Structure 1
Amino acid sequence: MRRFARLATILGISATVVAATIGTADARPARFAVAAVHSAGTGATAGSLTGTMSWSTSLKSVTLSNVKLFVKGGECVNFQLDGRQGSVIVAGIKRYPPNGGSYCPSADYTWSFGTIGLTADSPGGIEYVDFDITDYWHGVHGWAVCDRDAAACSGANH
């Protein structure tokens, strides 16, 4: 009977280690959010970008879905994103609006961009996705970095 108890304990510990390892390996960010906020991040939001993200098993591509840009009425906002390996851009720089300028609604407005894809053009895939959003008129800037080995993105507003 003691052998079975010892075996059950060993199997239980092994299953816990495997589950913990699997959770760590799959800790890719599933959502992103970035905002340009006045007064060093304590004031009114000029604009925000949100959506979900999925990383391919090869890590060569990242698909951003349900991408939405909110802009406060009277503000002018633009954003860009890219995929990186270390400090080298390997996927994109995608700018919105694509031809320059900014989104400048007279009243609060949300644009839907649907799905945006990033695909690496070099071996090793995408390690990070960088997001930048700027309130053009006021020089307010927000950024987020989504590391494929992290559970969530990090960022700041200023």
Structure 2
Amino acid sequence: MLGRRLLHIGFTIGVATASLLGLSSAASAAPSGFNTASVHGGGTGAVGAQVLGGISWYNRSVTLTSVRFYIAPRECATFTVEAWQGGTRVDSFDVGDQCSSSSAGRWISYGNIQLDGSGISGGITEVVIDVYDRTHAGHAWADCPRSASSCFNYPR
């Protein structure tokens, strides 16, 4: 009788614990998007160049989605994307210099950018997006670790 009662109590505690764990949220989710801009005057002026989009994380690879690139009026800029695992660069994407002759600036759509990490055990764990304002020698970047809930932008 005592053994049966202890088994019932143990089962009840186990069900209660499983219910509580099922209702709790994940500790952290990978970043779902990025937005980084190089700003004139050390961050006090107008945007010289900007890149933004979404991020879809897979087992080993990453897809940047709906990537858009802005270049300020009468300026030139570029951006790069690097996929990392620890200190090893796994894949990259590089856009050559783009210029805007328009007085309103220029948006360029790159759609989806695939980053392949299938050749390395564990795959891609971090994505870094750099944007360079070539006209004013400005630079900014977004560091997007898979283990974080959002990207970190520099300069802030």
TM-score normalized by the length of structure 2: 0.82
Counterpart position of 2:5: none
Match runs of 1:88-127 below 5 Å: 88-92=88-92, 94-97=93-96, 102-107=97-102, 108-120=105-117, 121-127=119-125
CA distance in 2, matches of 1:14, 1:77: 53
> Match of 2:109, as an amino acid?
S
Count of residue correspondences:
143
1:86 aligns with: 86
Helix, strand or coil at the partner of 1:117? strand
Name the structure 2 match of 1:17: 21
- Paired residue for 1:146? 144
**How far did residue 24 of structure 1 move?**
2.0
> Any conservation in 2 of the 1:37–1:157 contact (CA below 8 Å)?
no
Q: 1:83 Cα deviation (Å)?
A: 0.5
Unaligned runs of 5+ in 2: 1-11
- Give the share of equivalent positions with the same residue, in percent: 31
Give runs of aligned pairs for residues 29-40 of structure 1, distance below 5 A. Answer: 29-40=31-42
Secondary structure of the equivalent of 2:114? strand
Unaligned regions of 5+ residues in structure 1, if any?
1-6
Point out 4+ residue stretches in structure 1 off by more than 4 angstroms.
Answer: none
Across the aligned residues of Structure 1 and Structure 2, the Cα RMSD in angstroms comes to: 2.2
Aligned partners of 2:130, 2:22: CA distance in 1, in Å?
Answer: 37
Structure with max Cα Rg: 2
In 2, distance between residues paired with 1:51 and 1:110? 13
- Tell me, in whole angstroms, the C-alpha distance in 1 between the residues paired with 2:56 and 2:27: 16
Give the deviation of 1:23 after TM superposition. Answer: 1.8
Who is 1:4 aligned against?
A: none
Superimposed CA distance per residue, residues 26-72 of structure 1 (whole angstroms, 9 cap, x where no aligned partner): x011111111111222211001101111001x2x1101111000111
The change in CA–CA distance for 1:18 and 1:77 in structure 2 (over 3 A counts) is same
Equivalent residue number for residue 67 of structure 1: 67
